[in-house]
Amino acid sequence: MSTVQEFEQAAERLSRADLIQLRAWLDDKIEDDLVVRDEVTDAIARARGEIAAGQAKIRQPDAV
């Protein structure tokens, strides 16, 4: 049995109030993950634009 199937079976036993609370948590979790992805995607796009415009910032590794 997969984790999702176990989760579904457990969710079947929850009260309506608990289901609403679970849904809110899932919505927040998914939204948070999307925000992080959007921020990373935006940062990559900005960096690519800077490279294309010749404005790339080059960081030299610290000398050992």
At 3-27, the pLDDT tens digits run 999 999 999 999 999 999 999 999 9
How confident is the model at residue 63, as a pLDDT?
64
Q: Which of 42, 64, 48, 37 is nearest to 56 (CA)?
A: 48
CA distances from 39 to 27, 29, 32, 46 (A): 18, 16, 11, 11
Contact residues for 58 (Cβ-Cβ < 8 A; gap 6+): none
pLDDT by residue (tens digit) across 21-64? Answer: 999 999 999 888 777 788 888 999 998 998 899 887 777 777 65
